[in-house]
């Protein structure tokens, strides 16, 4: 597969956005239209001559039923952020009088609901982004998370992380991702299964990575029944703070608590 950064906007549409729509249950034959021109272009008059400006074109328009559009998607190549096309999509949505605007760079979708009937939420596969591409502008001060345990992740998602820390365990990948997303001094509360705290191999290396970058100050042991009947797994609630200057050896004071 080609490097996603080298793909054109049209390649992103074909290889990532359209398959995501199909996977989500959209009927491509009846509910999805690509590269839709929806204006004729402005008319300019100069010296008794008329010219027509560039026509506006939506990368995708989604339909509830024939002739009832409900969303527009603006695509960008993968050198742009997920939400880079959202403002443009909102402009198109206003012209077309549709309630929802999406933007995508192939990594996921940013959404804005113009109707006001739902909360503004960005939908994206957080693991489907290279660890090194997360910069200062992406970082946040507080993260609260209950990541899925032993969940299936997108093929190759682990390759977005350092080679010595790669794993197929979704909870461990999310832990590393959150460490990356925290600002210096940022705080995180995360639920993790016992294995993340006790197992050897790559899990031990991930714990070392955590302790070298964060002050893990409190671990709360949760009851075994907390996720029943959906899962019967021992879990812990970790509280930590991102720190820049932590010694890589020595002891740490960690508060252990039983719920």
Q: What is the DSSP string of 216-246?
A: EEEEEEPPTTTTTTT----EEEEEEEE-S--
pLDDT 10s digits, 109-118: 988 888 876 6
For residue 235, give the nearest of 198, 200, 197, 194 by alpha carbon: 194
With a cut of 80, say whether residue 119 has pLDDT above it: no
pLDDT recorded at residue 138: 87
pLDDT 10s digits, 202-230: 999 999 999 999 999 999 999 887 877 66
For the chain, give the percent of residues with pLDDT over 70. 84
What is the average pLDDT across 67-96?
A: 92
What is the average pLDDT across 39-61?
A: 77
Pairing of the two strands 108-113 and 123-124: antiparallel
Q: How confident is the model at residue 8 (pLDDT cuts 50, 70, 90)?
A: very high
How deeply is 132 buried, as exposed, middle or buried, from its count of CB atoms within 10 A (0-12, 13-18, 19+)? exposed
pLDDT recorded at residue 178: 92
Q: Where are the domains of the chain?
A: 4-124, 131-258
- 136-142 — which CB contacts under 8 Å span 24+ positions? 136/183, 138/181, 139/181, 139/182, 139/183, 139/186, 140/181, 140/182, 140/183, 140/186, 141/182, 141/183, 141/185, 141/186, 141/187, 142/186, 142/187, 142/188
pLDDT 10s digits, 143-173: 998 888 776 677 778 888 999 999 988 889 9
What is the average pLDDT across 28-37?
A: 94
- Taking the CA atoms of 18, 23, 29 and 33 in sequence, report the sign of the dihedral they define: negative
pLDDT recorded at residue 53: 65
pLDDT recorded at residue 259: 56
Q: How confident is the model at residue 254 (pLDDT cuts 50, 70, 90)?
A: low
Cβ(175)–Cβ(147) under 8 Å? yes
pLDDT recorded at residue 123: 59
| Averaged pLDDT of the chain | 85
Classify residue 43 by its DSSP letter: E
Give the separation between CA 20 and CA 191, rounded to whole angstroms: 29
CATH of the domain spanning 131-258: 3.40.50.150
Tokens standing for residue 15: 């290889």
Which option is the CATH number for 4-124: 3.90.1570.30, 3.40.50.1390, 3.40.50.970, 2.40.10.120? 3.90.1570.30
Beta-bridge mates of residue 102: 73, 111
């Amino acid at each position: 597969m080609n490097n996603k950064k080298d793909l054109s906007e049209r390649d992103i549409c074909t290889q990532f956005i359209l398959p995501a729509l199909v996977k989500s249950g959209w009927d491509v034959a009846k509910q999805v239209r690509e590269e839709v021109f929806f204006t004729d272009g402005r008319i300019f008059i100069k010296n008794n001559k008329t010219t027509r400006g560039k026509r506006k074109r939506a990368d995708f328009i989604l339909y509830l039923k024939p002739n009832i559009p409900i969303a527009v998607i603006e695509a960008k190549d993968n050198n742009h952020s997920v939400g880079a096309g959202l403002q443009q999509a909102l402009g198109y949505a206003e012209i077309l009088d549709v309630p929802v605007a999406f933007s995508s760079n192939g990594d996921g979708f940013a959404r804005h609901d113009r109707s006001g009937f739902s909360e503004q939420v960005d939908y994206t596969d957080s693991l489907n982004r290279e660890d090194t591409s997360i910069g200062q502008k992406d970082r946040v001060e507080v993260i609260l998370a209950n990541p899925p345990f032993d969940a299936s992740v997108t093929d190759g998602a682990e390759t977005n992380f350092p080679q010595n820390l790669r794993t197929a365990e979704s909870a461990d990948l999310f832990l590393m991702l959150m460490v990356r997303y925290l600002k210096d001094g940022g705080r995180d509360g995360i639920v993790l299964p016992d294995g993340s705290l006790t197992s050897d191999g790559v899990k031990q290396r991930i714990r070392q990575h955590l302790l070298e970058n964060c002050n893990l100050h409190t671990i709360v042991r949760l009851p075994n029944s907390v996720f029943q009947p959906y899962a019967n797994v021992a879990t812990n609630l970790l509280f930590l703070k991102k720190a820049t200057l932590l010694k890589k050896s020595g002891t740490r004071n960690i508060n252990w608590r039983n719920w």
